[in-house]
Amino acid sequence: MAVYTDISEGDLKHFLQQYDVGELTSYKGIAEGVENSNFLLHTTRDPLILTLYEKRVEKNDLPFFLGLMQHLSARGLSCPLPLPRRDGELLGELSGRPAALISFLEGMWLRKPEARHCREVGKALAQMHLAGEGFSIERPNALSLDGWRTLWAKAADRADEVEGGLQEEISSELDFLGRHWPNDLPAGVIHADLFQDNVFFLGDGLSGLIDFYFACNDLLAYDVSICLNAWCFEKDGAYNVTKGKALLEGYQSVRPLSDEELAALPVLARGSALRFFLTRLYDWLTTPAGALVVKKDPLEYLRKLRFHRQVGSVAEYGVAA
Amino acid sequence: MAVYTDISEGDLKHFLQQYDVGELTSYKGIAEGVENSNFLLHTTRDPLILTLYEKRVEKNDLPFFLGLMQHLSARGLSCPLPLPRRDGELLGELSGRPAALISFLEGMWLRKPEARHCREVGKALAQMHLAGEGFSIERPNALSLDGWRTLWAKAADRADEVEGGLQEEISSELDFLGRHWPNDLPAGVIHADLFQDNVFFLGDGLSGLIDFYFACNDLLAYDVSICLNAWCFEKDGAYNVTKGKALLEGYQSVRPLSDEELAALPVLARGSALRFFLTRLYDWLTTPAGALVVKKDPLEYLRKLRFHRQVGSVAEYGVAA
C-alpha cells in the first residue's frame, strides 16, 4: 500500500484542465499498488484513477504501458483505458512526476479465489494474449534469465541469511534454467504480473485486468506459468490441482497450448517461481526498515520452485499432455 | 496513511447484507486517517465509506461518535452520516473489528488553504457548536490537563532527546496551565481535531466536516484555539494574522465569543498547542521504525506554543478584545 507523492488541489485542478473529464468532486489516495501513487477521483461524470509514476518505473517505458492498454481495450479486452488530454497526449506531469488519467474499472480483486475464478483468469489471460497481437511497440522482459542473473549477483552473498544452503541451491537452479530455457515457443505481449490483486470480478464474472506495468514481450506460456504460481497454490504451500486444471482449461478454451508449450510448463514454472523469489529476496535484503511497503516473504516462492522441480509430468498440473 | 485490516470479498458481502445499500461494485482501501482502516465503496447506488475501528479507538466511545454524527446531521450540519443496519443498529462487526458504514461526503481537503477558507472553517466550527446542543451522550475530553500530565509522565524522561531543555520547559508550562486554565467558559460538544484534512471544500464553498473521533465535551473556545493552531500558521512557523482574523470573524458571525472567552484565547491556545505537541512527542518516541504511519514532527507545535506564550493581547490574533 502506498501513496508516495501527495498532490495539492491547485496542482490537480490545473492538471485536469488539460482533459475533458467534468468537474472534480473528490480525490483520495488509495492503498493499492507498490510501484506508483494512485488516487481515486470522483467527478461530475465518471470516476477515474490518477496514477503518478514513481522512480521505479522507467519513464521511457510509459508509452509502451499506456499504448498497450489502449491497444488491448480497442480489441475488446476489459482493462483500464488511459484518457487522452485535449492535445492528444496520454502522459502529463503532476507534482514533478509523469502522470496519467485512467478510466476506473468497477470490480473487486479476490482475497479467496476458487477454481471457477481460476478458469475465468485463464480465459482472460488467453484473450489478452490474442488481443496483444499487432501491438507496435516492443519491450523486452527485463526480468527473464539475464535479469535474474543480475538480481542474483546482488543478493547471492547474503542469501544464506534467509535460509542456509540457498546460495548453492539458487546458483545451480540458474545454471539449470540457462541450459533448459525454451526459445522456440510462441511469443507475444504478456502481462507478467497477473496476481489476484490485478484481476477484478463483479458478481461471478471477471470484470477486467489491471496493472500492466510489468507487461513485456516474452513466451506466452511463461505468462501461464506465472498464473499457475500466483493462483493455484494454497496458503499452506500445496499445489491445488483443481485450480490448476481450471486455469489451464480456461486458457485453452480460448487459445490451445501446443504440445511443446505444455511440455515446457515445468521449466517455465521453475523460472517464474524463481523470478518472484529473486525480486522478493532482493527487496527483503534491501528495503529499509522504515519503508511504507510491506515486505513479501521470498520463501513462499522458494517452496513453489521446489514443487515445480519435482514435477514429473504436466499431468500433475491438471492437464493431459 | 493506513489500512491496518484487510477484508475479504466474502466477509464484506455478508456484512453489507445487513444494510439496504444496493450492490457492491468496488472497494478500495484509502490512505487517509491514522487511527482506523477506511475503505471507499462503490455500489449500484451511492458511494460509501466503510470504517473499521482499530485498537486505538475505545469501543465504548463509538455510540458517542456515531450518535453525534447523526445528531449534527439532523440539525443541518454537513457531515458524514452513519447508515443504520436493517435492525436499526449503527455499529456492526467485520474482520473481527467494530465497523460502520458511513455516507460519502464529496469534497476535497485543502493542502494550501487561504484566508477565505479559514473564514468558512470558523463559521462551520461555530455551526457545529450550536448544532451539538442537546446531544444526550457525554464524553469527557481525555486529552485535557489530566491527559496531558499522563502523557508527559510517559515522555518526560526522554524529551531532551528531541531538544535540549524540553523537560524543564514543558514541566513549567504544565504548571502554568494548571494554575491558569479557565473553568467557567461556555462548554459543549467540540470537534477537537479540526485540521485541514477534516474539512472538505467543493469549489469555493465548504462542503462538510469529517472525522469526529476526537470529539468530546469541553470549552467551546478551546476548539477555536485548536483551529487557530491548525489553520493560521504558515509552514515557516509564522502566525498569519489575516487568516486568524478571518477564522475568528467567521466564527463570531455565527456564535459571538464573550469577552471572557476572547481573553482566555492565549491560554487556551497554549493548551491546544501543548496537546498536539505531547501526542506527537509520545508517538515520536514510541512508534516503531517499521510502522506504516508517517510520524509528525512534535517541534512544529513547540514553536506554536512558544508563539502563544509571548502573545500580549488577543488583538495579536486578529480580533479586537
| B314 contacts B265 by C-beta, under 8 angstroms | yes
CB proximity A289 to B under 8 Å: yes
Q: Does B106 touch chain A (CB under 8 A)?
A: yes
Q: Is the dihedral of CA A71, A75, A80, A85 positive or negative?
A: positive
pLDDT given at position B201:
97
Question: Rg for chain A (alpha carbons), in Å?
Answer: 20
CA distance A198 to A256: 23
37-76 in B: which are within 8 Å (CB) of A?
Answer: 40, 42, 47
- pLDDT category of residue B1 using cuts at 50, 70 and 90: very low
Is residue A200 classed exposed, middle or buried when 0-12, 13-18 and 19+ CB atoms within 10 A define those classes? buried
Nearest to B34 by CA among A214, A177, A292: A292
Q: Does A292 contact B1 at a Cβ distance shorter than 8 Å?
A: yes
* CATH 3.40.109.10 at B9-103, yes or no: no
Inform me whether the pLDDT recorded for A32 exceeds 90. no
Cβ–Cβ gap B29/A24 under 8 Å:
no
The conformation of residue B25, written as its DSSP 8-state character, comes to E
Residue A110 has pLDDT above 60, yes or no: yes
Confidence class for position A274, pLDDT limits 50, 70, 90: very high
- Verify whether the Cβ–Cβ distance B26 to A107 is below 8 Å: yes
> B110 CA to chain A: closest CA distance, Å?
6
Cβ neighbours of residue A17 closer than 8 Å, sequence gap 6 or more: none
Residue A291 has pLDDT above 60, yes or no: no
Flag whether residue A107 sits within 8 Å of chain B, measured between CB atoms.
yes
Q: What's the pLDDT score for residue B289?
A: 61
Inter-chain contact B289–A292, Cβ cutoff 8 Å?
A: no
CB A134 within 8 A of CB A261: no
What does the pLDDT look like over B15-55, one tens digit per residue? 999 999 999 999 999 987 667 899 999 999 999 999 999 88
B204 touches chain A (CB under 8 A): no
Buried b (16+ CB within 10 A) or exposed e, B198-218: bbbbbeeebbbbbbbbbbbbb
User: What residue ranges of chain B are covered by domains with CATH 3.30.200.20?
Assistant: 9-103
Q: Hey, is the C-beta of A156 within 8 angstroms of any chain B C-beta?
A: no
Give me chain A's average pLDDT, please: 93
Mean pLDDT to the nearest integer, B100-118:
95
Shortest alpha-carbon distance between residue A292 and chain B (Å) = 5
In this structure, of A276-280, B234-238, B293-297, the range with the lowest mean pLDDT score is B293-297
CB-CB under 8 Å, A26 with B106: yes
pLDDT band at A287 (very low <50, low <70, confident <90, very high): confident
- Put simply, whether A14 touches B (Cβ < 8 Å) is no
Top-confidence range, A60-74, A274-288, B286-300: A60-74
What are the tens digits of pLDDT across the range B223-242?
999 999 999 999 999 999 99
CA distance to partner chain A, nearest, from residue B22 (Å): 13
Using DSSP, state whether B119 is helix, strand or coil.
helix
Instruction: Please indicate whether, in this complex, the C-beta atoms of A30 and B29 are within 8 angstroms of each other.
Output: yes
Which residues on chain B are in Cβ contact (under 8 Å) with A32? Answer: 28-29
pLDDT at residue number A162: 87
CA–CA distances in Å: residue A176 to residues A17, A173, A219? 54, 5, 18
Q: Write the CA distances from B58 to A113, B63, B284, integer angstroms.
A: 34, 10, 22
Mean pLDDT of B289-294: 57
The mean-pLDDT minimum among A194-198, B27-31, B174-178, B215-219 falls in B27-31
- 3-state SS, B136-197, equals CCCCECCCCHHHHHHHHHHHHHHHHHHCCCHHHHHHHHHHHHHHHCCCCCCEEEECCCCCHH
Q: What does the pLDDT read at residue B203?
A: 83
A279, A272 contact by CB (below 8 A): no
Among A40, A112, A291, the residue with its CB nearest the CB of B28 is A40
Task: CATH 3.90.1200.10 in chain B: give the residue spans.
Answer: 115-317
Q: Which CATH superfamily is domain A115-317 in?
A: Aminoglycoside phosphotransferase (APH), C-terminal lobe (3.90.1200.10)
The predicted structure's pLDDT at residue B3: 64
Q: Report whether pLDDT(A39) > 90.
A: yes
ipTM of model over 0.95: no
Average pLDDT over residues B60-84: 96
Q: Could you say which of B9, B111, B200 has the minimum Cβ distance to residue A6?
A: B111
Percent of chain B's residues with pLDDT above 70: 95
- In which band, very low, low, confident or very high, does the pLDDT at B320 lie, cut at 50, 70 and 90? low
pLDDT of A1 > 50? The answer is no
| pLDDT surpasses 50 at A249 | yes
CB of B26 within 8 Å of a chain A CB? The answer is: yes
Average pLDDT for residues A161-182, to the nearest whole number? 95
Spell out which residues of chain A touch residue B114, defining contact as CB-CB under 8 Å: none
Query: Do B157 and B168 form a contact (C-beta atoms < 8 A)?
Result: no
A47 CB-near residues (< 8 Å, 6+ apart):
A40, A41, A104, B42
Answer whether B24 touches A (CB < 8 Å). Answer: yes
Tell the burial category of A287 from Cβ atoms under 10 Å away from its Cβ (0-12, 13-18, 19+): middle
Mean pLDDT of the region B142-149: 96
With pLDDT > 90 as the criterion, what percentage of chain A qualifies?
85
- Report pLDDT for A279: 94
